[in-house]
Amino acid sequence: MEIRHATTADTGALSALAERDCAAVPAGDLLVAASGGRLIAAYAPRSGEAIADPFEPTAAAVAALRAYAAPRTSVRAWLPRMRFSTT
Protein backbone atom coordinates (compact mmCIF):
# COMPACT_ATOMS: atom_id res chain seq x y z
CA MET A 1 0.00 0.00 0.00
CA GLU A 2 1.21 3.47 -0.89
CA ILE A 3 0.26 6.59 1.09
CA ARG A 4 0.73 9.98 -0.55
CA HIS A 5 -0.77 13.40 -1.05
CA ALA A 6 -3.50 13.58 -3.70
CA THR A 7 -2.71 15.51 -6.86
CA THR A 8 -4.86 16.93 -9.64
CA ALA A 9 -4.15 13.73 -11.57
CA ASP A 10 -6.21 11.88 -8.93
CA THR A 11 -9.41 13.87 -9.57
CA GLY A 12 -11.11 11.18 -11.65
CA ALA A 13 -10.07 8.35 -9.34
CA LEU A 14 -11.26 10.32 -6.29
CA SER A 15 -14.64 10.94 -7.93
CA ALA A 16 -14.99 7.23 -8.72
CA LEU A 17 -13.95 6.30 -5.17
CA ALA A 18 -16.50 8.72 -3.69
CA GLU A 19 -19.21 7.32 -5.97
CA ARG A 20 -18.47 3.75 -4.83
CA ASP A 21 -18.65 4.97 -1.20
CA CYS A 22 -21.91 6.90 -1.86
CA ALA A 23 -20.21 10.03 -0.51
CA ALA A 24 -18.74 13.29 -1.69
CA VAL A 25 -15.03 13.82 -2.11
CA PRO A 26 -13.88 15.54 1.11
CA ALA A 27 -12.87 19.17 0.71
CA GLY A 28 -9.31 20.39 1.16
CA ASP A 29 -5.96 18.70 0.92
CA LEU A 30 -6.23 14.92 0.85
CA LEU A 31 -4.02 11.99 1.66
CA VAL A 32 -4.71 8.89 -0.39
CA ALA A 33 -3.98 5.21 -0.02
CA ALA A 34 -3.38 3.21 -3.18
CA SER A 35 -3.06 -0.51 -3.64
CA GLY A 36 -2.13 -2.09 -6.92
CA GLY A 37 -2.11 1.34 -8.55
CA ARG A 38 -5.75 2.00 -7.56
CA LEU A 39 -7.01 4.47 -4.94
CA ILE A 40 -8.75 2.60 -2.14
CA ALA A 41 -9.13 5.37 0.46
CA ALA A 42 -8.78 9.11 0.91
CA TYR A 43 -8.58 11.20 4.08
CA ALA A 44 -8.91 14.93 4.73
CA PRO A 45 -6.75 15.68 7.80
CA ARG A 46 -8.36 19.06 8.55
CA SER A 47 -11.94 17.80 8.66
CA GLY A 48 -11.28 14.17 9.57
CA GLU A 49 -13.52 12.98 6.72
CA ALA A 50 -12.59 9.79 4.91
CA ILE A 51 -13.91 7.91 1.91
CA ALA A 52 -13.02 4.32 1.10
CA ASP A 53 -13.86 1.57 -1.35
CA PRO A 54 -16.64 -0.46 0.29
CA PHE A 55 -15.77 -3.47 -1.88
CA GLU A 56 -12.21 -3.74 -0.53
CA PRO A 57 -10.87 -4.31 3.00
CA THR A 58 -9.96 -0.67 3.70
CA ALA A 59 -10.17 -0.27 7.49
CA ALA A 60 -6.38 -0.62 7.79
CA ALA A 61 -5.83 1.85 4.95
CA VAL A 62 -8.02 4.50 6.60
CA ALA A 63 -6.28 3.90 9.94
CA ALA A 64 -2.89 4.27 8.24
CA LEU A 65 -3.97 7.54 6.61
CA ARG A 66 -5.13 8.90 9.98
CA ALA A 67 -1.89 7.81 11.64
CA TYR A 68 0.20 9.34 8.86
CA ALA A 69 -1.66 12.64 9.22
CA ALA A 70 -1.70 12.75 13.03
CA PRO A 71 1.78 14.21 13.69
CA ARG A 72 1.35 16.81 10.95
CA THR A 73 -2.06 17.88 12.25
CA SER A 74 -0.92 18.16 15.86
CA VAL A 75 2.20 20.15 14.94
CA ARG A 76 0.13 22.56 12.85
CA ALA A 77 -2.22 23.02 15.78
CA TRP A 78 0.38 24.17 18.31
CA LEU A 79 3.18 25.63 16.17
CA PRO A 80 1.45 28.97 15.37
CA ARG A 81 0.93 29.55 19.12
CA MET A 82 4.54 28.88 20.09
CA ARG A 83 6.48 31.75 21.49
CA PHE A 84 10.23 31.81 21.74
CA SER A 85 12.04 33.52 24.56
CA THR A 86 14.90 35.86 23.67
CA THR A 87 16.48 35.77 27.14
Rounded-to-integer distance, Cα 29 and Cα 5, Å: 8
Segments making up each domain of the chain, as ranges: 2-80
Q: Mind listing the pLDDT tens digit for each residue in 33-53?
A: 999 999 999 999 999 999 999
At residue 76, the pLDDT reads 52
Rounded-to-integer distance, Cα 6 and Cα 29, Å: 7
Q: DSSP state, 22?
A: T
* Percent with pLDDT over 90 in the chain: 72
Binning pLDDT at 50, 70 and 90, where does residue 77 land?
A: low
Phi/psi of residue 69, nearest 5 degrees: -80, -25
At residue 70, the pLDDT reads 83
